[in-house]
Structure 1
Amino acid sequence: MKHCLFACALAACCASADAADCPPYVKHTPGGDYTSAEDRSGLTVVEKFHFSRAVETLTQGMTGSLGADISYTLEHFPNHHRALASMAKLGLRLKSAQPPGARYTVSCYFERAIAFAPHDVTARMVYGSYLLSTGQDATALEQLDAASRLAPEQATIQYNLGLMYVKKKEYDKASAHAQKAYALGFPLPGLKNKLKAAGKWREPPPAPISEDTQPSEPIPVPPSK
């Protein structure tokens, strides 16, 4: 119940704060798309002074508060995957939609990242995880669906979608995503176990044997003399 109340309060706070003050990212130097080799040329300077391992693991800030250093990183590289994950973890740890020192809310940083780099599948996946952690299942599903359309062969996305649909008790969809995730090599059995517990798991049919893989006739060996 406490988690539910926190999630609802956090969602409401995020919505009001985002609507009030979440301007779009404007590219400047150094900065830009975290997935672009060209833009990343300026990444070292930003990380050297604001995103150390201690900041990433929420151990200690470099120039001030953790929120301020992570915020600075995201103001230069809005879709910096590890910084987004750290900001989300900081918000969850402090039970705050806008951690101290952060210029915007956690959700705003994700919205800025996705608006600037809508092709970035990882940013959407991290946002989906954050939304799930705050009880915003419907919005999380939107982000995971969008990520799936961008990268249909990404096993982790298929797995997470399967978990979402299990939670919604939409087992046909959950099973379809599960089959795809495991066919793509996803290693964790959690989704399969959930479907088994619900009596909805079906083992995939064996892969058809193509003509190329069919065993050939044995080659006769001449008798030894």
Structure 2
Amino acid sequence: MTLLRRLTDRAARAARVALIASCALGAVIAHAQDHCGPLENPYGPFDYRDYKDLRGRERAGTPISLVEDTHFLEACEAMIRCAAGVPGGEFDYTLRVFPNHHRALLAMARLADRYKAAVAPNARYTPACYFERAIRWRPDDIVARMLYVIYLKDHNAPEAARKQFDAIRQLAPTNPYTVYNLGMVALDLGDVDFAVEAARRSYGAGMVHPELKQRLVALKRWGDADEQAVQALQAGEAASAPSGAASAAPAASAPAAPASAPVKP
């Protein structure tokens, strides 16, 4: 066999291997998408963030009212009694209409943990799949990603948790409440430097809940320099605030949830 023939055969074999590898990778991706299901739904899907704060007349007749007032009642969310079905089916229905419904995501994860099951009874997918669907639906939903970080951390998937945490950092949240909770999550993941930065920013913007600072003090990572940085940020905020607006504190001053559940959706 000539050298040219051998090289040609090697190139052909390499091309076949590359084609097989490419097809295999495509099959893996397709399988993952099929496994977590399409987002298309007979009703919706809708972005939970557009509806979650509606109250009274604003809420009446909206998708959030139609779904929550029938399928995601508080008693059902608490896994006591559902009006139209069983918790797993009702949570699934809610998450197909609102893939990034924060409370339903938490409820589905709790239900699977209660039964120690990969897939909760009467659900379609694993909790991780529901989180993945939420992120596929709205990649910029910081709350959904943060809840997913906590879920992954609590279920011994630190690398995946870090990936989602890094994605949140790339989104560069500015809301003080979100920044505070991100600092709490950072401590859970062992990223103390980021937690200090988040604490400075959130307290400088008006956060009053003390737990993040207390945890940093316990680690001997909070001192006079940090308090001075907070005061400087607060002074800057006060100087830039419109006249008469200084008393309008941001929602960030509301008490934050514990580190195990950093966000109150």
CA distance in 2, matches of 1:160, 1:59: 29
Asked if the contact 1:162/1:177 (under 8 Å) is kept, the reply is yes
- SS of 1:55's equivalent in the other structure is helix
Q: Could you list the runs of 5+ residues in structure 2 that have no partner in the other structure?
A: 1-30, 52-60, 240-265
The amino acid across from 2:150 in the alignment is: S
Partner of 1:113: 134
Matches within 5 A, 1:1-225: 21-36=35-50, 41-150=62-171, 152-202=173-223, 203-205=226-228, 206-207=231-232
Residue 27 to residue 120, structure 1, CA distance change in 2 (3 Å)? farther
1:164-194 CA-to-partner distances (Å, cap 9, x unmatched) read: 4434544322211221122233333222222
If each structure's helix is expressed as a fraction of its own residues, which one has the higher value? 2
Structure 1: where are the runs of 5+ without partners? 1-16, 214-225
Aligned length: 194
TM-score, scaled relative to structure 2: 0.62
Q: Alignment RMSD, CA only? A: 2.9
In 2: Cα distance, 1:116 partner to 1:79 partner? 7
Change (3 A) 1:173 1:193: same
The aligned amino acid for 2:196 is S
Conserved? CA contact 2:150–2:185, under 8 Å: no
Return the TM-score normalized by structure 1: 0.72
Alpha-carbon distance, 1:66 to partner: 0.7
Provide the C-alpha distance between the structure 2 equivalents of 1:170 and 1:42, rounded to a whole number of angstroms.
39
Residue aligned with 1:114, SS: helix
CA deviation profile, 1:95-144 (whole Å, cap 9, x unmatched): 33311010111111111111011122222222222223223333233323
Identical amino acids, percent of aligned pairs: 37
d(CA) in 2 for partners of 1:63 and 1:126?
A: 27
- Name the structure, 1 or 2, with higher relative contact order (CA <8 Å, separation 6+): 1
Provide the residue aligned with 1:5 in structure 2: none
